[in-house]
């Protein structure tokens, strides 16, 4: 079949002259001024004498409306003048219409098409969906309406939005069916690389290849080789590269796919060191710090089955299964179109799990967002979406991505910092479950590995190929004509993917999959290109690949990032196809894996790309980069302790980084699959914000006594301003500490690293590049040490290196951010702990390994202060302390455990109260005494004033790593204290029935003792300050 | 021999596995059955004692929750399903499955065949809600599925759970409502969270019983000093179903 013959069903309808359009509006009493609109394209012949037959009207009404509470308007385009009259009679002055731009994924329309078919509707119907809005005169004019609804009800990158006056009487200006119209299919281009340097660079830029001069030259050199020339002559291929080849190389060698910065040769100069010790050279940060740490730990961790190789890290769970975990970022797409960006981010990382081993099944999602808090002080630029639009879109994308896929969103974080105005960070993580083996006839296959063999067919499964995601964000929307399918933006289709997911798991268990990977960045060029290296070659046929519409160039088909697609290798296509039919999933045999040494692309038998696999994967030159580090210069600015610490505590509880996330959490299904043990919100009022999630990966009998999986995360970007080395260590500690607090065994933890950085490649337009790179080096150093200290290996990771904004007038950069995600084993589900206080009379302790600090704290921000009183992490003691805490949890002594994080000790205790319907009475005198002694012992006065570091406000609101608040049953006091001998464990109070928080400092004289007295209700009210989400 | 239960899956149904697990814990031989397999072979219903339509997002919840799945089942299974129900076999719809039963007009039951009496509309707050709610059983409406239960907790996870009867059907609907939310959570008519037919063999509810089959699923289980020995209420519902068919 030719490409033209394999585009979406109803193709003859593309001949517009043979079609008729039917318009539908579905009105309801409950929401009279906002309602669904549909445009249907049907065969002209299905009309009766040019009129819509009654049967058709009835079927449409049955499918599109609820007869109990909705009314349907059905008509041909011209009939809509009567709609306008009706709206005008209802005193509405304006009718606004929203419709997807041509080619944008329209999930509702796809479902309607399927539903109409089930109703016996003619096969050739095409549907577009949209929404109508009605406004009274008071809404202002058309522009005022468009301004009020932008980003909330429509997005110019994905939607058409028109406003009409209802009294115009004519339907002529109303929206028509959004046809995709493309010019004739372009031919394959040949590109001349025998150019001077300037022209090579220009070529890379113009074709959006994002390759530097060295890389362009390396490609040119490949085409000069005699062997290359001979191979090409043999295939009848021009000696010059084709555009298909250049695009494949550009994708394969992209920063996104190749992690060139992490593999670069880096000369790092540390200006704080003596001159002769300043400079060090690293050949690949990835190998030096990340892989090396895991390698050291792997001798103790025999459960690491696959690290850094596959689409996710894989760790053995029990004798039959393994768990895997992957976290991705989707920052740039979310900055452009937040809903689609977040949705495709989640669906994308779900596919990473599906593409791990022979196909793992997603178990849970975790989502971490870094946003700028919407406020007037943020910079506003035409190319920067309003901050509120970004966070609402992302939130909704996560809701649809998780909920509709049936994957619980179990854990996450929302961090606000104005630095994220440059770009929002959207981290999407997914964990999965993989069987260790799959039975194929008499053979038992290791399901953690790929088994693709030469001769296996290459199968594309799931969605079709369109212009989506070609060259992603660099594509400029202005240059599009009316009928161009939108290629910069992708929406994502959770329903299609859910079907794909069910199919893949069935196919895996039936032994029909020999290898699998997802189509993400780089599309087929990456997925087939990567799998080709297993067998040593692959050939694909463009003409067999199904497309959404005709008119794509060959190179577009190969690199398109259209969603919901997996690439599968199989030795039994017939059975696979049959199974796919049952699941309503489209599968296509697009070629074959071989051992010929090439990635070859043909179109109707003619070779359009032929690339030596070794060159494709190893031919990219190593980057050489320079890093320069000098310690941060912070000007100290502090003040007196505020008089009312209680008021400060309430203000901190209201802070967007601290206050309740309940409004967001409630909209995410966090329990589907029935596997949760510790949910995001626990306790008698379901308000207690838990430190980490705990869930049961398998549904087996006696689940309360089965091992469970803890999932946590840590990130401390506020510390980056001071030192990324400390930032990395604190992020690791936070992830580890959170997991331990809910009951995870610290000797079973596996970590993931996700770096989001401002561009660390120095250039004239990026003068800060060397500093950013040095911060990356220090971050890796800190990460390496912490990972080894905790004995928690890194199993997978990802980096995103261009998190800047630069429109020529304004340059913005995010704070360097490392997200550490963590999973670990809770020996039995019933050992898991939630963080709220449980019972009056229980004793409250603080566990300490290091010191808390005011630098970068929320308290400091609240006061407008700035200090260098950095927190410290004691990497010798923290791991021991966490191990002993774990034993204490298993012994049943611990009633609650909560990490001290944003807002410090006072906030940690307040949160433990809010979720409990109890109160607490604290005396921090002993803790005060301990810190005074500690600083005296050190003898060094790191800070000018002793008072300052041991002042009550520092004790209560200092933030940092290594601290946990626990409550225990009084009956276990002696055993508990003995158990922690040699470590810092200080009693600070008692849980009380009275719903009050009182904090005194027994070390202070007279009335100075009284620090805070607040009702639990006051704490709760402050903490429930709403976040700015819709 | 264990009674057979079919648990529908595919087409965006998400909760098949945990529903099947709950049925198994209750003594059923539960099989996940893809919609395509059931549509191609309606005879599968013959050997089954129970059919479960689990929760999820069938067809992405597009148009209206449960609507397209209802169209699909009606097109191929209408008669088989009617026969199944009239034989007194058990049919349970949970969340999206309940929405589907309401779309098909199987609940609330109408005296006139094929007349729908109510819809499950978008929540009053216009948002998806995942939280645990307290439920109370109305002893005046006989429902063997709820035997032995009075007040208990289950989670809800839906965006369209507001039961909205047609004006002249309100009283008829009340008579079929054995289960209510203890507080108004989504604007549902008369706080109704579940419906049953007169015979009591068809049961539909928005809350998720399959999500409370072990005590460590409850949001405040960590307060318990020891986990209770008796079955959690969600599991009880499936055990009641087992008791109905085992007798």
- The string of pLDDT tens digits covering residues A160-181 is 999 999 998 889 999 999 988 8
Q: How far is B56 from chain A (nearest CA, A)?
A: 7
Ramachandran sector of residue A989 (left: φ over 0; alpha: ψ -120 to 50; beta: rest): left
CB contact under 8 A, B36 and A671: no
Strand pairing report for A425-435 and A437-440:
unpaired
Residue A490: inside a domain? no
Q: Does A707 touch chain B (CB under 8 A)?
A: no
Residue A853: helix, strand or coil by DSSP?
strand
Partner residue facing A68 (CB), from B60, B166, B217: B166
CB contact under 8 A, B10 and A672: no
**Contact in structure between A958 and A857 (CB atoms under 8 Å):** yes
**Contact in structure between B176 and B121 (CB atoms under 8 Å):** no
Q: How far is B68 from chain A (nearest CA, A)?
A: 6
* Residue A852 banded pLDDT, cuts 50, 70, 90: very high
Q: How far is A864 from chain B (nearest CA, A)?
A: 38
d(CA B81, CA B149): 28
Residue A543: inside a domain? no
Interface test with B, best of A669, A689, A841, A970 (most B CBs within 10 A): A669
Closest CA in chain B for residue A115: B68
d(CA A780, CA A294): 13
Report, in angstroms and rounded to the nearest whole number, the Rg of chain A calculated over CA atoms.
30
b (16+ CB within 10 A) / e for A581-619: ebbbbbbbbbbbbbeeebbbbbbeeebbbbbbbebbbeb
Residue A1011, pLDDT above cutoff 90: yes
What pLDDT was estimated at residue A332?
Answer: 87
CB contact under 8 A, A406 and B14: yes
* Residue A477 banded pLDDT, cuts 50, 70, 90: very low
How many Cα atoms sit within 13 Å of A799 on the Cβ side? 23
Domain coverage including residue A63: 4-168
What pLDDT was estimated at residue A4?
Answer: 40
* Residue A701 banded pLDDT, cuts 50, 70, 90: confident
Residues A290, A226 share a domain: no
Which residues in chain B have Cβ-Cβ distances shorter than 8 Å to A704? 214-216, 227
Q: What is the CATH number of the domain that holds A649?
A: 3.90.650.10
Interface test with A, best of B12, B123, B169, B211 (most A CBs within 10 A): B12
What dihedral angle (degrees, nearest 10) is formed by the CA atoms of B170, B172, B174, B178?
-150
d(CA B161, CA B163): 6
d(CA B242, CA B247): 9
CB contact under 8 A, A64 and B63: yes
The pLDDT of A226-238, averaged and rounded, is 94
Looking at the DSSP assignment, which residues form a beta bridge with residue A600? A539, A610
What pLDDT was estimated at residue A14?
Answer: 54
For the residues of A73-112, what is the DSSP string, one character each?
EEE-GGGHHHHHHHHHHTT--EEEEEEEPTTS--HHHHHH
Nearest CA to A586 out of A595, A599, A573, A577 is that of: A577
The pLDDT of A68-89, averaged and rounded, is 95
CB contact under 8 A, B62 and A683: no
* Residue A207 banded pLDDT, cuts 50, 70, 90: confident
- Which of A437-441, B67-71, B113-117 shows the lowest mean pLDDT across its residues? B113-117
Q: How much of chain A exceeds pLDDT 90, in percent?
A: 83
Q: How much of chain A exceeds pLDDT 70, in percent?
A: 96
Residue A532: inside a domain? no
Task: Give chain B's length.
Answer: 247
User: How distant, in Å, are the alpha carbons of A344, A401, A523, A754, A817 from that of A799?
Assistant: 18, 22, 19, 6, 10
For CA atoms A570, A574, A577, A578, give the dihedral sign.
Answer: negative
Q: What is the pLDDT of residues A417-475, one digit of tens each?
A: 999 999 999 999 999 999 999 999 899 999 999 999 999 999 999 999 988 877 653 33
Q: Which residues of B are catalytic?
A: 95, 208, 210
Partner residue facing B62 (CB), from A111, A119, A671: A111
Residues A791, A687 share a domain: yes
Looking at the DSSP assignment, which residues form a beta bridge with residue A629? A270
Tell me how far apart the terminal alpha carbons of chain A are, to the nearest angstrom.
Answer: 48
Residues A414, A281 share a domain: yes
Residues A895, A785 share a domain: no
**Contact in structure between B49 and B4 (CB atoms under 8 Å):** yes
* Mean pLDDT, all residues of chain A: 93
CB contact under 8 A, B72 and A118: yes
Q: How many domains does chain A have?
A: 4
**Residue spans of alpha helices (H) in A14-79:** 54-64
Residues A48, A110 share a domain: yes
d(CA A811, CA B186): 46
Q: What is the DSSP letter of A287?
A: I
CB contact under 8 A, B214 and A665: no
Which residues in chain B have Cβ-Cβ distances shorter than 8 Å to A671? 130, 155, 157, 208, 211, 217
**Contact in structure between A403 and A668 (CB atoms under 8 Å):** yes
d(CA A64, CA A72): 8
**Contact in structure between A813 and A425 (CB atoms under 8 Å):** no
CB atoms within 10 A of CB A82: 12
Q: Does A67 touch chain B (CB under 8 A)?
A: yes
What pLDDT was estimated at residue A2?
Answer: 39
Nearest CA to A710 out of A690, A731, A695, A700 is that of: A695
* Residue A488 banded pLDDT, cuts 50, 70, 90: low
Partner residue facing B12 (CB), from A68, A495, A834: A495
Report, in angstroms and rounded to the nearest whole number, the Rg of chain B calculated over CA atoms.
17
Residue A3, pLDDT above cutoff 60: no
Q: What is the CATH number of the domain that holds A383?
A: 3.30.1330.10
For the residues of A447-464, what is the DSSP string, one character each?
TTS----TTPEEEEEES-
- Which of A485-494, A646-655, B216-225 shows the lowest mean pLDDT across its residues? A485-494
Residues A820, A863 share a domain: no
Instruction: Report angle CA A764, A769, A771 to the nearest 5 degrees.
Output: 135
User: How distant, in Å, are the alpha carbons of A70, B74, B117, B142 from that of B112?
Assistant: 21, 17, 10, 21
Q: At how many degrees (to 10) do helices A494-509 and A338-354 cross?
A: 0
CB contact under 8 A, B21 and A674: yes
Which are the contacts of A234, defined by CB distance < 8 A and separation ≥ 6? none
Q: Does A1029 touch chain B (CB under 8 A)?
A: no
Residues A781, A642 share a domain: no
Residues A400, A282 share a domain: yes
Q: What is the DSSP letter of B169?
A: G
Residues A922, A943 share a domain: yes
CB contact under 8 A, A679 and B219: yes
What dihedral angle (degrees, nearest 10) is formed by the CA atoms of B20, B24, B29, B34?
10
Residue A332: inside a domain? yes
d(CA B178, CA B65): 22
Interface test with A, best of B220, B229, B231, B235 (most A CBs within 10 A): B220
Q: What is the pLDDT of residues A766-791, one digit of tens each?
A: 999 999 999 999 999 999 999 999 99
d(CA A1008, CA A1005): 6
Residues A424, A314 share a domain: yes
Which residues in chain A have Cβ-Cβ distances shorter than 8 Å to B164? 68-69
CB contact under 8 A, B131 and A108: no
Which residues in chain B have Cβ-Cβ distances shorter than 8 Å to A833? 222
Q: What is the CATH number of the domain that holds B218?
A: 3.40.50.880
Q: How far is B137 from chain A (nearest CA, A)?
A: 21
Q: Which helix (H) or strand (E) holds A789?
A: helix A769-790
Report helix, strand and coil shares of chain B as percent, to nearest 5: 35, 25, 40
A-B contacts (CB, under 8 Å): 163
Last residue of a domain, one of A800, A829, A858: A829
CB contact under 8 A, B157 and A671: yes
* Residue A549 banded pLDDT, cuts 50, 70, 90: confident
Closest CA in chain B for residue A839: B223
What dihedral angle (degrees, nearest 10) is formed by the CA atoms of A563, A567, A573, A579?
-40
Residue A5, pLDDT above cutoff 50: no
d(CA A486, CA A391): 23
A 68-107 residues with CB < 8 A to B: 68-69, 107
Residue with token string 């596996």: A750
Residue with token string 């992020």: A731
Interface test with B, best of A66, A116, A698 (most B CBs within 10 A): A66
* Residue A990 banded pLDDT, cuts 50, 70, 90: very high
With 0-12 CB in 10 A as exposed, 13-18 as middle and 19+ as buried, what is B222? Answer: buried
Closest CA in chain B for residue A699: B21
Q: Does A683 touch chain B (CB under 8 A)?
A: yes
Q: How many domains does chain B have?
A: 1
Residue B83, pLDDT above cutoff 50: yes
Q: Does A119 touch chain B (CB under 8 A)?
A: yes
Partner residue facing B10 (CB), from A502, A679, A683: A502
Interface test with A, best of B38, B159, B216, B229 (most A CBs within 10 A): B216
Residue A632, pLDDT above cutoff 80: yes
Q: At how many degrees (to 10) do helices A213-224 and A226-234 cross?
A: 60
**Contact in structure between B5 and B52 (CB atoms under 8 Å):** yes
**Residue spans of alpha helices (H) in A446-582:** 494-509, 523-535, 554-559, 573-582
Domain coverage including residue B237: 4-246
What tokens does B4 get?
């057979």
Residue B129, pLDDT above cutoff 60: yes
Residue A583: inside a domain? no
**Contact in structure between A910 and A969 (CB atoms under 8 Å):** no
Q: Measured in whole angstroms, how far is the alpha carbon of residue B37 from the centre of its chain?
A: 21
Q: Does A681 touch chain B (CB under 8 A)?
A: yes
Last residue of a domain, one of A774, A807, A829: A829
CB contact under 8 A, B222 and A832: yes
Ramachandran sector of residue A472 (left: φ over 0; alpha: ψ -120 to 50; beta: rest): left
Residue with token string 């607040």: A1014
Residue A486, pLDDT above cutoff 60: no
Q: Does A1030 touch chain B (CB under 8 A)?
A: no
Last residue of a domain, one of A829, A845, A865: A829
With 0-12 CB in 10 A as exposed, 13-18 as middle and 19+ as buried, what is A29? Answer: exposed
Which are the contacts of A769, defined by CB distance < 8 A and separation ≥ 6? A759, A760, A761, A762, A763
Partner residue facing A403 (CB), from B17, B128, B214: B128
- Which of A282-286, A361-365, A561-565, A749-753 shows the lowest mean pLDDT across its residues? A561-565
What tokens does A450 get?
């790929």
Residues A143, A20 share a domain: yes
Q: What is the pLDDT of residues B173-228, one digit of tens each?
A: 999 999 999 999 999 999 999 999 999 999 999 999 999 999 999 999 999 989 99
Partner residue facing B60 (CB), from A107, A668, A683: A107
d(CA B235, CA B23): 8
Nearest CA to B195 out of B114, B125, B117 is that of: B117
Q: Which helix (H) or strand (E) holds A725?
A: helix A724-741
Q: A625 preceded by cis ω (within 30°)? A: no
Residue A669, pLDDT above cutoff 50: yes
Partner residue facing A112 (CB), from B11, B17, B63: B63
What tokens does A200 get?
């090579």
**Contact in structure between A815 and A756 (CB atoms under 8 Å):** no
């Amino acid at each position: 079949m030719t490409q033209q013959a394999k585009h979406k069903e109803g193709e003859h309808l593309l001949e517009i002259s043979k079609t008729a359009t039917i318009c539908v509006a579905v009105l309801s009493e409950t929401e009279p001024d906002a309602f669904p609109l549909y445009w249907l394209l049907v065969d002209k012949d299905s009309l009766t004498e040019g009129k819509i037959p009654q049967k058709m009207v009835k079927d449409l009404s049955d499918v599109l409306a609820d007869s109990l509470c909705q009314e349907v308007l059905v008509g041909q385009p011209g009939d809509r003048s009567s709609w306008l009259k009706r709206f005008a009679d209802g005193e509405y002055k304006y009718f606004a219409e929203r419709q997807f731009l041509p080619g944008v994924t329209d999930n509702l329309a796809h479902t309607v098409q399927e539903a109409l078919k089930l109703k016996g509707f003619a096969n050739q119907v095409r549907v577009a969906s949209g929404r109508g809005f009605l406004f009274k005169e008071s809404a202002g004019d058309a522009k005022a309406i468009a301004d009020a609804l932008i980003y909330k009800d429509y997005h110019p990158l994905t939607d058409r939005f028109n406003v009409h006056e209802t009294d115009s009487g004519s339907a002529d200006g109303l929206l028509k069916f959004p046809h995709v119209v493309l010019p004739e299919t372009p031919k394959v281009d040949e590109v001349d690389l025998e150019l001077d340097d300037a022209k090579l660079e220009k070529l890379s830029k113009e074709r959006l290849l994002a390759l530097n001069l060295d890389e362009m030259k390396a490609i040119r050199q490949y085409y000069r080789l005699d062997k290359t020339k001979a191979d090409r002559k043999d295939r009848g291929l021009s000696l010059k590269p084709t555009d298909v080849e250049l695009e494949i190389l550009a994708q394969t060698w992209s920063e996104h796919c190749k992690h060139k910065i992490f593999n670069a040769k880096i000369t790092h100069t540390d200006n704080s060191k003596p001159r002769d010790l300043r400079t060090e050279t690293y050949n690949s940060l990835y190998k030096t710090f990340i892989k090396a740490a895991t390698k050291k730990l792997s001798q103790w961790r025999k459960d690491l089955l696959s690290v850094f190789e596959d689409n996710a890290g894989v760790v053995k769970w029990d004798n039959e299964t393994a768990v895997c975990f992957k976290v991705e970022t989707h920052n740039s797409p979310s900055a452009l179109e937040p809903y689609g960006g977040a949705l495709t981010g989640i669906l994308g990382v779900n596919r990473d799990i599906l593409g791990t081993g022979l196909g793992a099944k997603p178990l849970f999602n975790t989502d971490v967002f870094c946003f700028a808090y919407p406020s007037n002080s943020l910079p506003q630029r035409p190319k920067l979406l309003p901050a509120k639009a970004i966070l609402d879109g992302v939130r909704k994308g996560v809701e649809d991505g998780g909920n509709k896929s049936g994957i619980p969103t179990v854990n996450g974080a929302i961090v606000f910092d104005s630095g994220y105005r440059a770009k929002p960070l959207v981290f999407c993580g997914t964990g999965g479950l993989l069987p260790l083996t799959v039975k194929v006839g008499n053979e038992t296959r290791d399901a953690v590995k790929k088994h693709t063999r030469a001769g296996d067919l290459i199968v594309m499964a799931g969605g079709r190929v369109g212009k989506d995601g070609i060259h992603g964000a660099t594509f400029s929307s202005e240059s599009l004509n009316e009928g161009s399918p939108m290629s910069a933006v992708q929406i994502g289709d959770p329903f299609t993917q859910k079907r794909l997911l069910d199919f893949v798991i069935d196919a895996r268990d039936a032994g029909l999959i020999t290898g699998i990977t997802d189509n993400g960045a780089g599309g087929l060029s990456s997925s087939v290109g990567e799998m080709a290296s297993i067998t040593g070659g692959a050939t694909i046929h463009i003409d067999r690949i199904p497309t959404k519409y005709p008119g794509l160039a060959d190179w577009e088909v190969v690199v398109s990032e259209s969603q919901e697609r997996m690439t599968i290798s199989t030795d039994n296509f017939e059975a696979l196809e049959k199974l796919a039919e049952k699941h309503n999933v489209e599968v296509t045999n697009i070629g074959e894996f071989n051992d010929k040494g090439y990635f070859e692309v043909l179109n109707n038998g003619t070779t359009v790309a032929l690339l030596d696999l070794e060159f494709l994967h190893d031919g990219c030159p190593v980057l050489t980069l320079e890093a320069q580090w000098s310690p941060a210069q912070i000007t100290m600015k502090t003040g007196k302790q505020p008089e009312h610490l209680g008021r400060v505590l309430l203000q901190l509880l209201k802070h967007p980084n601290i206050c309740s996330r309940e409004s967001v959490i409630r909209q995410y299904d966090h329990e589907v699959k029935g596997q949760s043990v510790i949910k995001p919100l626990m306790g008698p009022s379901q308000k207690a914000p838990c430190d980490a999630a705990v869930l049961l990966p398998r549904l087996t009998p006696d689940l309360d006594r089965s091992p469970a999986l803890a999932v946590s995360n840590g990130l401390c970007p506020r510390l980056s301003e001071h030192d990324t080395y400390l930032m990395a260590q604190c992020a690791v500690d936070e992830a580890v500490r959170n997991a331990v607090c809910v009951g995870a065994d610290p000797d079973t933890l596996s970590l993931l690293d996700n770096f989001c950085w401002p561009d660390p490649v120095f250039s004239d337009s990026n003068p800060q590049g060397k500093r950013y790179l040095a911060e990356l080096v220090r971050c890796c150093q800190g990460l390496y040490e912490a990972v080894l200290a905790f004995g928690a290996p890194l199993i997978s990771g990802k980096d995103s290196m261009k998190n800047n904004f630069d429109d020529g007038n304004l340059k913005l950069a995010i704070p360097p951010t490392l997200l550490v995600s963590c999973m670990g084993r809770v020996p039995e589900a019933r050992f898991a702990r939630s963080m709220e206080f449980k019972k009056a009379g229980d004793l409250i302790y603080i566990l300490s390994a290091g010191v808390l600090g005011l630098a970068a704290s929320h308290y400091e921000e609240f006061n407008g202060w700035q200090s260098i009183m950095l927190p410290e992490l004691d990497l010798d003691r923290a791991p021991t302390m966490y191990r002993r805490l774990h034993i204490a949890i298993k012994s049943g002594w611990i009633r609650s455990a909560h990490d001290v994080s944003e807002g410090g000790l006072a906030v940690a205790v307040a949160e433990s109260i809010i979720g409990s319907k109890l109160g607490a009475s604290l005396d921090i005198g002993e803790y005060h005494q301990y810190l005074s002694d500690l600083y005296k012992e050190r003898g060094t006065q790191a800070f000018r004033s002793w008072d300052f570091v041991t002042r009550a406000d520092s004790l209560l609101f200092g933030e940092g790593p290594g601290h946990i608040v626990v409550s225990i049953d009084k009956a276990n006091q002696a055993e508990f204290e003995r158990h922690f001998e040699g470590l810092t464990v200080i009693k600070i109070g008692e849980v009380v029935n009275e719903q009050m928080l009182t904090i005194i400092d027994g070390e202070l004289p007279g009335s100075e003792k009284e620090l805070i007295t607040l009702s639990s209700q006051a704490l709760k009210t402050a903490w429930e300050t709403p976040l700015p989400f819709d | 021999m264990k009674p057979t239960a079919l648990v529908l899956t595919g087409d965006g149904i998400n909760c098949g596995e945990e529903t099947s697990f709950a049925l198994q814990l209750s003594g059923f031989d539960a099989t996940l059955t893809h919609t395509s397999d059931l549509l191609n072979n309606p005879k599968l219903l013959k050997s089954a004692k129970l059919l479960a339509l689990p929760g999820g997002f069938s067809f992405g919840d597009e148009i209206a929750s449960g609507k397209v799945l209802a169209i699909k089942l009606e097109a191929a299974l209408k008669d088989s399903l009617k026969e199944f129900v009239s034989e007194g076999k058990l049919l349970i719809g949970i969340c999206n499955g309940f929405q589907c039963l309401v779309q098909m007009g199987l609940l609330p039951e109408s005296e006139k065949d094929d007349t729908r009496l109510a819809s499950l509309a978008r929540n009053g707050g216009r948002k998806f809600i995942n939280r645990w709610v307290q439920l109370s059983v109305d002893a005046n409406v006989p429902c063997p599925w709820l035997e032995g239960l009075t007040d208990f907790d289950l989670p809800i996870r839906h965006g369209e759970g507001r039961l909205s009867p047609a004006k002249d059907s309100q009283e008829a609907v009340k008579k079929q409502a054995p289960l209510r939310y203890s507080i108004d959570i989504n604007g549902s008519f008369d706080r109704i969270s579940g419906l049953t037919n007169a015979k009591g063999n068809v049961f539909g509810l928005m809350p998720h019983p399959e999500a409370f089959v072990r005590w460590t699923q409850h949001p405040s289980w960590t307060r318990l000093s020891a986990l209770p020995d008796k079955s959690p209420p969600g599991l009880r519902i499936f055990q009641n179903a087992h008791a109905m068919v085992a007798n």
